[in-house]
């Protein structure tokens, strides 16, 4: 893996109601964030692809987090549609043929396979019919993602050490569910770590949403996270 610019290790999630709200936040954050994730909430609003183009014109990197999950031919076509748009990452969910279809069509887009959502704990997985240890499930999916030609995985910081220990630097690890402070009881993220622990555990990138865009001063919140990242990588 190439060395990742330190400032790009923070991916801010634009989980907002409209493209205009997203642009307003990006302007407010300025140079404190250079990488943005846009997901399903904005996809269901007007202007999703226009927002991608606008972000790339601002010199920002873009992570399309739509977790493509459909028959392989459809997923491959969807991934192919992201090529030549300046998209850096895209997420895919599903079985081996789905991941392989995404890998074949990715072009310059890096494909990230979802392992287990950070909003799920062991009880939730049991309810879904996954009668196995969550770490075994995540590692199995990471291995399959590598075999399928994916570039990385979405993984909790709790499982990142296992992935790095078993697979080394062959897969990028992108970690959501980052909480710079103690999680609130109402928060839907269950398997969380803080900024420093995520990177100590082996994450290559972190995705941070509400702790930035719900902060009283989003730019200050982002700069605080960047300062923590700088301290981790200068230690």
Q: Domain residues of the chain, as ranges?
A: 6-234
Look-up of token digits 């992108």: 174
Angle at 125 between CA 122 and CA 126, to 5 degrees: 85
Q: Please list, in sequence order, all residues whose beta carbon lies within 8 angstroms of the beta carbon of residue 3, skipping any fewer than 6 positions away.
A: none
What is the CATH code of the structural domain delimited by 6-234? 3.20.20.70
Q: Are 13 and 207 in contact (CB under 8 A)?
A: yes
Reply yes or no on whether 67 is catalytic: yes
Q: pTM for the complete prediction?
A: 0.89
Decide: 11 and 37 in contact? Cβ < 8 Å. yes
Confidence check: pLDDT of 119 > 70: no
Do the Cβ atoms of 173 and 163 come closer than 8 Å?
yes
Per the prediction, the chain carries an average pLDDT of: 89
| Among 54-58, 106-110, 186-190, the least confident range | 186-190
- DSSP summary character for residue 193: B
Average pLDDT over every residue of 197-217 = 94
The active-site residue, picked from 2, 37, 60, 67, is 67
């Amino acid at each position: 893996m190439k060395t990742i610019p330190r400032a790009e290790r923070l991916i801010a999630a634009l989980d907002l109601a409209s493209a205009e709200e997203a642009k307003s936040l990006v302007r407010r954050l300025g140079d404190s964030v250079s990488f943005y994730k846009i997901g399903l909430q904005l996809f269901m609003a007007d202007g999703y692809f226009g927002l991608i183009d606008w972000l790339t014109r601002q010199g920002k990197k873009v992570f399309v987090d739509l977790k493509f999950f459909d028959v392989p031919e459809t997923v491959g076509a969807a991934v192919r549609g992201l090529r030549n748009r300046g998209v850096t990452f895209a997420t895919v969910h599903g079985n081996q043929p789905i991941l392989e279809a995404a890998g074949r069509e990715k072009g310059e887009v890096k494909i990230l396979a979802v392992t287990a959502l950070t909003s799920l704990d062991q009880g939730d997985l049991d309810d879904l019919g996954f009668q196995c240890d969550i770490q075994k499930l995540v590692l199995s999916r990471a291995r399959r993602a590598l075999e399928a030609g994916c570039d990385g995985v979405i993984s909790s910081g709790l499982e990142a050490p296992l992935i790095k220990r078993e697979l080394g630097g062959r897969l990028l690890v992108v970690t959501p569910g980052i909480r710079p402070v103690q999680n609130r009881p109402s928060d839907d993220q269950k398997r969380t770590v803080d900024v420093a622990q995520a990177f100590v555990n082996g994450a290559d990138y972190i995705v941070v949403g509400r702790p930035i865009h719900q902060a009283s001063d989003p730019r200050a919140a982002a700069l605080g996270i960047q300062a923590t990242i700088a301290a981790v990588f200068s230690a």
